[in-house]
Chains A and B, each alone.
Chain A
């Protein structure tokens, strides 16, 4: 009986183990080995840390690296600021059919491919786009206005793409907060901001943290949005990785870049968890 249960357990575990090993662990080990290789001649390689030294020695790489991190953190923060009131409204202020309808409306854009959604923004923001025409028509601008290919456009795209992944965990945690707890706060003399600070946010922290982690990861690793809305010179780290692999055919340096990105995201997530006093089990479980 016990042996059978064990077998069943192993069989059930198999798919995820295979998935993790074949698609995540093995490629990463291989990548790591490639990143430690240096090409010394035609078809000749030696083990060295040259790729990582190249990364650290080139200011452009470092600036792009830092810029990507800061932009991703900023995008996460803005997403949180926008998503929190939206989630609070959906979870607490309305009930019944309207609630599910609004929740669905957050989901609907994700039925369309990310590429198409990003093109949608390009249609709105480009020189001959909707906003530009609107400004000219209303007389606020004398000529065509180019709103694409800058950091603000990237930010808009990133926040838009990430919204759902912040709203879902926030709505879930906020819904689990009993209305009478909020009322008790008012009843005992609390004001709106103090209830938000002392009752609602502490309760929603697991949702805030898990939403933020997901949004941060998505933004940091996003390739499409920065490239399309930010243009060729948007200096996004994933673009550097892409160009090393595909354009320069320098897999060694690309692999090293990939590893730096992995380290960066791990460090920032770890720091965020430490800062908010949460653990990964608590927020993801």
Chain B
């Protein structure tokens, strides 16, 4: 089956600088595809090329197998939800949603029927006569999606549409967007710099940096099996230590950090040999906390020391830990069982983690921490 959207070797240069550099991907019908990356990584450029506002320097964009290269934006079977929604302030809700249908030349009664239907579907029946300014942020969001969905596009593009909402509403809209996508059964391409939006909603995520895709995969793969140092640092929180490889035994490594800590890590198939510079990434939740050292005997990395700081954040509470020898601080997630709920600053604890959770990457000069 042909994918709904397929980009091959897509490249865009601005004055010799590649904003998008040889990017290829395919999005199957009915899936939720996200492009996740920091600002300026080129994700908006990809989106604008798909929508037709920018011509690619080279490469091809196919929608349902048809090349879109010489098709103007108003003739493409894609629609876009803009960052600030771009609802037409001079029209009421009904006219906003009906705009595309009017342009397509549908008869009036049919437009009224379709607009009514889509308002019903997004759970806002009867707001048709209201002005855009009378709606709340979340309602505007749904209107912006409805305005596109009423045209039944093959692909819906969403350009960080949740950016302007407050946190509570954003959490709510994530679930709602996913539900809307399932209800309309349309291919969504979503771009964001917020990893939790991408992780929660997407079937497939592409992590983008400096105009290239670093890794493309399901949320779980990106999180647990990052393929590059950038992905390891950008997706999820992590401890990162620059180190030198001391010993290699198959996939298992022994490393010494720059501050002198000896660690066990895993290369997961990446080429690293003795003497190489490497970065070790360990997620705070991969590290276990214990009151006694015996409880951690199954781990090959074990440290004893003090709690230097408590970062209370409900279920996601963490501590900062420093070992007795005074090496770097380590961020550790507290277990959610409440066992350590009363932990005080300065308390003595033991921590340990398995070497397999210590992802090692050959050192790069510029690895971003998220």
Contact of B86 among A181, A191, A198 (CB under 8 A): A181
Smallest Cβ distance from A285 to chain B, in angstroms? 17
**Residue A43 lies at the interface, judged by CB distance under 8 Å to chain B:** no
Interface string of B55-77 (1 = CB under 8 A from A): 00000000000000000111100
Residues on the A chain within 8 Å of B74, using CB: 186-191
**Residue A185 lies at the interface, judged by CB distance under 8 Å to chain B:** yes
Residues on the B chain within 8 Å of A203, using CB: 89-90
Residues on the A chain within 8 Å of B104, using CB: 189
CA distance A199 to B89 in the complex (A): 9
Residues A183 and B90 in contact, CB atoms below 8 Å apart:
no
**Residue A56 lies at the interface, judged by CB distance under 8 Å to chain B:** no
**Residue A184 lies at the interface, judged by CB distance under 8 Å to chain B:** yes
**Residue A178 lies at the interface, judged by CB distance under 8 Å to chain B:** yes
**Across the two chains, which residue of chain A brings its CB closest to B72?**
A186
Tell me the residues in window 160-197 of chain A with beta carbons closer than 8 Å to chain B beta carbons: 178, 180-181, 183-191, 194
**Residue B184 lies at the interface, judged by CB distance under 8 Å to chain A:** no
Tell me the residues in window 81-108 of chain B with beta carbons closer than 8 Å to chain A beta carbons: 82-84, 86-91, 99-100, 103-104
Contact of A188 among B53, B89, B151 (CB under 8 A): B151
**Residue A202 lies at the interface, judged by CB distance under 8 Å to chain B:** yes
- The size bracket of the interface on B is 20 to 34
**Across the two chains, which residue of chain B brings its CB closest to A191?**
B74
**Across the two chains, which residue of chain B brings its CB closest to A201?**
B90
Interface string of B40-63 (1 = CB under 8 A from A): 000000000001110000000000
Residues B99 and A187 in contact, CB atoms below 8 Å apart:
no
Residues A194 and B103 in contact, CB atoms below 8 Å apart:
yes
Residues on the B chain within 8 Å of A194, using CB: 103
Smallest Cβ distance from A202 to chain B, in angstroms? 4
Q: Is the interface of A mostly helix, strand, loop or mixed?
A: helix
Smallest Cβ distance from A181 to chain B, in angstroms? 5
CA distance A187 to B73 in the complex (A): 5
**Residue B79 lies at the interface, judged by CB distance under 8 Å to chain A:** yes
**Across the two chains, which residue of chain A brings its CB closest to B95?**
A198
Residues B89 and A198 in contact, CB atoms below 8 Å apart:
no
Smallest Cβ distance from A236 to chain B, in angstroms? 38
**Residue B307 lies at the interface, judged by CB distance under 8 Å to chain A:** no
**Residue B272 lies at the interface, judged by CB distance under 8 Å to chain A:** no
Residues on the B chain within 8 Å of A198, using CB: 88, 90-91, 99
Residues B103 and A188 in contact, CB atoms below 8 Å apart:
yes
Smallest Cβ distance from B140 to chain A, in angstroms? 13
**Residue B148 lies at the interface, judged by CB distance under 8 Å to chain A:** yes
Residues A183 and B79 in contact, CB atoms below 8 Å apart:
no
Residues A189 and B90 in contact, CB atoms below 8 Å apart:
no
CA distance A158 to B74 in the complex (A): 40
Tell me the residues in window 111-168 of chain B with beta carbons closer than 8 Å to chain A beta carbons: 147-148, 151
Smallest Cβ distance from B48 to chain A, in angstroms? 9
Smallest Cβ distance from B342 to chain A, in angstroms? 51
Among A181, A184, A199, residue most surrounded by chain B Cβ atoms (within 10 Å): A184
**Residue B80 lies at the interface, judged by CB distance under 8 Å to chain A:** yes
Residues on the A chain within 8 Å of B51, using CB: 183, 187
Binding site for B on A (CB under 8 A): 178, 180-181, 183-191, 194, 198-199, 202-203
Listed A/B pairs (26) with beta-carbon separation below 8 Å:
A178-B86, A180-B84, A181-B87, A183-B51, A183-B80, A184-B80, A184-B87, A186-B52, A186-B53, A186-B72, A188-B79, A188-B103, A188-B148, A188-B151, A189-B100, A190-B99, A190-B100, A190-B103, A191-B103, A194-B103, A198-B88, A198-B91, A198-B99, A199-B90, A202-B90, A202-B91
Closest 7 CB pairs of A and B: A188-B100, A184-B86, A202-B90, A180-B86, A189-B103, A180-B82, A186-B73
Q: Please give 12 more A-B residue pairs, beta carbons under 8 A apart, in addition to A181-B87, A188-B79, A198-B91.
A: A183-B53, A183-B82, A183-B86, A184-B80, A184-B87, A187-B73, A187-B80, A189-B104, A190-B100, A191-B74, A198-B99, A202-B90
